[in-house]
Structure 1
Amino acid sequence: MQLLLYGAKALARILLAVIVVGALFLSLQFSRKLSPSKIEDPAKYSANSTDGNKLLSSENSYECINPYAQPGFIWMEARNTTDNTTWVPFYDGLLDQQFSQLWDAKGVPVDKMVDDTRYFPNNVPPNDLLQSSPTQWFQLLRQYKNEVDAISTEKAPDRKKESIRNSQELEKQLYWLQNRSLLVLGDSVDETLVFYLCNLLDASLEYGQTNGSSGTTIATCHIRDLNLTITHWQLGCVGKHCSGNAPETLESIDQKWDEYFIPASRSVVGQNGASPDLVIFQLGLWGEQFFVNQYREYVKAKKIDYSRTLNFRELVVYRRLLGRIISKLRDLYGVRVPILYRTVALKNTLEQDMVALNLDSAARYTCRELDVEIMDFGWLVRGYYSFYSDDVNIGQGPLSALWINMAFWYLFRSQGGVEVRGEVVRMPDRDEATVDFWHMCHGSFMKDLKIRS
């Protein structure tokens, strides 16, 4: 009997060992499947050493993670600078690892946080938090521009050599911006953000011939050092005559599109030779202005009310407006053109901006149904009203730098660049224009959008 007991215990130990080994094996295989392919020197990645089609068809060759869709916070070195501002995403377990020692197992604080001045001010996040944040492409681009300028102005031979060396190293990281084209379709908020981007790189916005009709403008800046083109189309107000009592019509968009944007469409073609490399669009402020004006005329009020909840018919109209723009972009540049909807930032107002919130919800639904990804800039900056230059426009500083870095992150991705948890694991090809890199992660990101919206 005792022998049987010992035998049963031994068998149990063997089975337990087999289960543990099997579990470890499966866990290792699963983690290998999800882990990204490492590139020791991403700057050397070019069309000669990259098989983009293989990457496109290879399942789980890297993780599809959008850092700007993760919970997190905006970290800025100072409120009056455009450098060292980034979105710090909270990846799984990151906060737990950093701050697990502040409380003991019973939840009692180990340190008296409020009384301990070591926690105030909180100057810099921990290194691994910042290392997992998205690449600050704009800061690298400004450094490159400064070094290029120094080459032509510096008289000291040693300093000039140093600037040449620095510019060559930065160019290895920024070559993918060469010959690219970014189209931004929006209102004065977007135009101002584009202006900051170009102005800080010593490029000026040049306006096309639209005679400012109904707020419709075309503005372009060209970063000559990289042959990078950034164009802003402002659709202007909606409605037949752009006034509060005008009947809503989609023909107004058609008219402006045919008259102004189609003739200018070939000037914003990028690396693929058929379309811009990325399109960012929104129709928030003008749409909002139309609805509040319509309601003010209806109730014969003197003051515009932004705190009113829009009714179902108004939301349907707005959905049709957005659908019209998406359709026209795809008709113009093809159904595979990378398109992002930029969420609208709330106004700096004493009233509740319920209209913008309603339009944002309708826009998320529209993007979900029409297979368009979302650039959630408006959501990230809500509440940062002290950084506005007026009641609607964002001033030059940390928030404008965040927008630029976000735009470049999406542009980087559209060209085949892959960044996972702050680490660049694949650089874009120099001359690859046939592989549809945008849609490598598009399905995963749209799935996340459907869950979140």
Structure 2
Amino acid sequence: MIFWGEERSETRWVPFQEGSSSSSSFQDENDPRELIKLTEESFYEKFDQDELERAAPPYLKWLVGGRLEELEFMRGKMVVFVGSSHDRNNVEQVCQETKGKYASWGGHVGGICTIPQLNFTLVNWFSLGMIDSQPDLDNWLPGKAEPAVFSDRVEQTFLPQMYAAGLTEPPDLVIFASLFWDDAYLNWRRAHYKFDPKLTTPQNGFTFAEINWHRIRVRAAILQLRGLWGQSIPMMFRTRQLRKKDENWSIMKIFQLDQSCRSVAKELGVKLFSWGEKLEGYTKYYDGDMHFELGPTTYLFADMTFFYLQRALTPGCWNGCD
């Protein structure tokens, strides 16, 4: 669960752990009658420090407060987000909150956040989705000069910007996503190529062929990133968040793409970064249809990022540790 607190810096990510729904003070924890007695006695208990002790560490709060001794694992490290405006906004907001230095390559291109206190770097690469045809982009988003095909975009846009900034070493963690731009592109493609309307009515969502196209492209992108930085590079897939508005069955389509990507991630051994789905239901934090302002969601994003980075850096912990 998420404990939001009164201030955004009090946001905490509290896992549901085994054993947290029973108590050793009862004779038989598996006896339904004993568990019912437990619920009767604990129903009016407040959320207290015991629960917060199970939460992931408040990394961003420590960083903002200058408690750097707890964050030495971050010193000189780098995390690269490959995604969209959600990643860009989060990186920019963390940079703002920590008084870091953000250098933008362009809103739909990417940027770098440097946090001087730890010489720590957050990078966001802005993917225009998994589009595989530059002519399609020219028709879909006229006026976009930079390459759109992901493989070309990496080689001709992202890497040169990284090298120019002196970032030539592999990142310590890569978090990848491609959902919302693909939803928009597939919808455009249906109209542009005049697909059979009987097969592509909005309420039916995407066809298997459309989803399979996306699966192939996502798989290729993950393999390309591993080709750049090594097969053992710690990598995650950032799962969905809901839109605030459901127009043209858009929420269902995002679910379809997301579920497909989860299976590709499982096949390739890519872990899930489930920041977005943890926000489902908290519509008050949206700044519009699908984006979030600087606030509690920023702290959740940062704490999750640093939690997984620490695991990636700890020998033997990426695949599970205490």
What TM bracket, shorter-length normalisation? 0.7 to 0.9
1:128 and 1:253, CA in 2 relative to 1: closer, same or farther beyond 3 A?
same
**Is the Cα–Cα contact under 8 Å of residues 268 and 276 in structure 1 kept in the other structure?**
no
In structure 2, what is the Cα distance between the partners aligned to 1:306 and 1:393? 23
Aligned to 1:285: 180
Do residues 325 (structure 1) and 221 (structure 2) align? yes
Amino acid at match of 1:226: L
Measure, in 1, the Cα distance between the counterparts of 2:166 and 2:275: 25
Are the equivalent residues in 1 in contact too, given 2:13–2:300 (CA < 8 A)?
A: yes
User: Which amino acid in 1 is paired with 2:267?
Assistant: E
Normalising by the residue count of structure 2, what TM-score does the alignment of the two structures yield?
0.83
Do the aligned residues in 1 keep the contact of 2:15 with 2:54 (CA within 8 Å)?
A: yes
Q: Tell me, yes or no, if structure 1 residue 74 matches structure 2 residue 6.
A: no
**Offset, 1:229:** 1.1
Distance 2:161 2:76 in 1: 18
Which of 5, 10, 17 is residue 91 of structure 1 equivalent to?
17
Aligned to 1:313: 209
Check if 1:385 corresponds to 2:264.
Answer: no
Q: Where do 4+ consecutive residues of structure 1 move more than 6 Å?
A: 267-270
- Give 1:252-401 correspondences, 5 Å limit: 252-266=149-163, 274-297=169-192, 298=194, 307-351=203-247, 352=249, 353-401=251-299
CA distance in 2, matches of 1:172, 1:106: 42
Match of 1:129 among 46, 51, 54: 51
Conservation of the 8 A alpha-carbon contact between 2:237 and 2:273: yes
Opposite residue 89 of structure 1, the aligned amino acid is P
CA distance 1:305–1:87, change in 2 (3 Å) = farther
User: Structure 2 CA distance, aligned partners of 1:267 and 1:413?
Assistant: 29
Aligned equivalent of 2:128 = 236
Give the paired residue count.
Answer: 304
1:306–1:98 Cα change, 3 Å? farther
Matched residue SS, 1:141: helix
Deviations 1:278-322 (A, max 9, x none): 111101111111122223443699xx9875422111111111221
CA shift for structure 1 position 107: 4.8
Rounded to whole Å, the distance in 2 between the matches of 1:292 and 1:196 is 31
Larger radius of gyration: 1
Deviations 1:326-366 (A, max 9, x none): 12211211112111111021111144511110011110111
Match of residue 222 from structure 1? 114
> Residue type matched to 2:117 in 1?
D
What displacement does 1:252 show? 1.7
Aligned to 1:395, the other structure's residue is in SS state coil
Map 1:141-290 to 2 at 5 A: 141-144=63-66, 170-208=67-105, 215=108, 217-237=109-129, 238=131, 239-240=133-134, 241-242=136-137, 243-244=139-140, 252-266=149-163, 274-290=169-185
Deviation at 1:379, TM superposition (A): 2.0
Deviation at 1:75, TM superposition (A): 0.9
**Cα–Cα, structure 1 residues 325 and 267, in superposed 2: closer, same or farther, change >3 Å?**
farther
Distance, in Å, in 2 between the alignment partners of 1:108 and 1:178 is 49
Identical-residue share of aligned pairs (%): 22
TM-score under structure 1 length normalisation:
0.60
Which deviations, in whole Å up to 9, do the C-alpha atoms of 1:388-409 show, x marking residues without a partner? 1110112221122111100000
Consecutive unaligned residues of structure 1, counting only runs of 5 or more, are 1-72, 145-169, 417-436, 446-453
Q: What SS is found at the alignment partner of 2:118?
A: coil
Query: For the residues of structure 2 that align with 1:179 and 1:275, how far apart are their CA atoms?
Result: 12
Cα separation, 1, equivalents of 2:267 and 2:165: 27
Residue type matched to 2:19 in 1? G
